[in-house]
Amino acid sequence: MLVTATKMLQDAKAGHYAVGQFNINNLEWTKAALTAAQECNSPIILGVSEGAGKYMGGYNVIVGMVKGMIKDLNITVPVAIHLDHGSFEGCLKCIEAGFTSVMFDGSHYEIEENIAKTTEIVKLAHEAGLSVEAEVGSIGGEEDGVVGAGECADPTECKRIADLGVDFLAAGIGNIHGKYPENWAGLSFETLDAIQQLTGDLPLVLHGGTGIPEDMIKKAISLGVAKINVNTECQLAFAAATREYVEAGKDLQGKGFDPRKLLAPGAAAIVETVKAKMELFGSVNKA
Ligand code: 13P
């Protein structure tokens, strides 16, 4: 069932669990993520970065593919198609293409410009019936070639963006995309708590879900995080399983080169990764 992410995240916040956003890269990824969600009876947000959107051929391709899968695979759990770290233009394209949710990432602008642009996207997206995520305080690491250091958002700026009518809010709390360095200081729960005190019931979003220790994930959920983004972890699982298949020489045996065989272990690894995250986030049986 294709839906916006608003209700699923309000329910998550009220129920003290989080819904996972799993970024997709191709048909196998999408099928694996949706299969895992259905098997776990969990809501799911399919994340699409602008780079992944381009890679897959465009936003219309993705909407068509996801809608087709929901129908043909009988996916009955709530599914949102969400633009991840969207630019202003990217959000407009996704609204047009039929996404059900967009993130406008104005965190690299000065706060006044972030506010002005977020205001505009909230208006356009809500008119078209989509949910909106905004961001304050850049999330470090590398994503689509953009590198930033994990900073902590200013809680009063978070409150200003929250008051624009966004449906959920991402705030930097020392988290970064990709693998965490050995000397990572961990999440700033002080910042998260201060943000939640000011933003109340608004579901908060934790980016950079890969590699955050389980106890920190649970604590973040207890402090108002209702959406957790996971990307790199599925990529690592897919790559490791594919490597194992090739290194075992299986692509050279019989018809082992058939993409339906060659990509199967990687796809199965994504299913397992997504299911484990859904267990950890507490979204199993919350569909
Ligand atoms: P990871 O790649 O670190 O899991 O981060 C995903 C993310 O936050 C997407 O926006």
Q: Is 208 in the pocket of ligand 1 (CB under 6 A)?
A: yes
Does 207 contact ligand 1 (Cβ within 6 A)?
A: yes
Residue among 92, 115, 79, 60 at smallest CA distance from 4? 79
d(CA 258, ligand 1 centre) in Å: 30
For the CA of 210, the closest atom of ligand 1 is: 4
Q: pTM above the 0.85 mark? A: yes
> Other CB atoms closer than 10 Å to residue 250's CB: what's the count?
15
- For residue 233, which atom of ligand 1 is closest to its CA? 4
The residues spanned by each domain of the chain are 6-281
The Cα–Cα gap between 222 and 189 comes to 10
pLDDT reported for residue 64: 98
Q: How far apart are CA 173 and CA 192, in angstroms?
A: 6
Say yes or no: CB of residue 178 within 6 Å of ligand 1.
Answer: yes
Pocket test for ligand 1, best of 207, 217, 277, 280 (most atoms within 8 A of CB): 207
| Two structure tokens written together for 269 | 């690894």
Q: What is the pLDDT along the chain (287 residues), one digit of tens a residue?
A: 999 999 999 999 999 999 999 999 999 999 999 999 999 999 999 999 999 999 999 999 999 999 999 999 999 999 999 999 999 999 999 999 999 999 999 999 999 999 999 999 999 999 999 999 999 987 776 655 555 557 899 999 999 999 999 999 999 999 999 988 888 889 999 999 999 999 999 999 999 999 999 999 999 999 999 999 999 999 999 999 999 999 999 999 999 999 999 999 999 999 999 999 999 999 999 99
Question: Would you call 84 a catalytic residue per the annotation?
Answer: yes
Beta strands in 24-162 (DSSP E): 44-49, 79-86, 101-104, 131-136, 141-143, 146-148
How far apart are the C-alpha atoms of 231 and 220, rounded to whole Å?
18
Which atom of ligand 1 sits closest to the CA of residue 207? Answer: 8
> If you measure from the C-alpha of residue 255 to the centroid of ligand 1, how many angstroms do you get, rounded to a whole number?
35
Nearest atom within ligand 1 for CA of residue 23? 9
Residue 185: per-residue pLDDT: 87
Q: Which one of 177, 235, 273, 274 would you pick to mutate in the ligand 1 pocket, going by the greatest count of ligand atoms within 8 A of its CB? A: 177
**Which of 11, 72, 84, 163 is the catalytic position?**
84
We find that the CATH architecture of domain 6-281 is Alpha-Beta Barrel (3.20)
Pocket flag, ligand 1, residue 277 (CB < 6 Å)? no
3-state SS assignment for residue 214: helix
Determine the pLDDT at residue 7: 98
Contact 195, 155 (CB under 8 A): yes
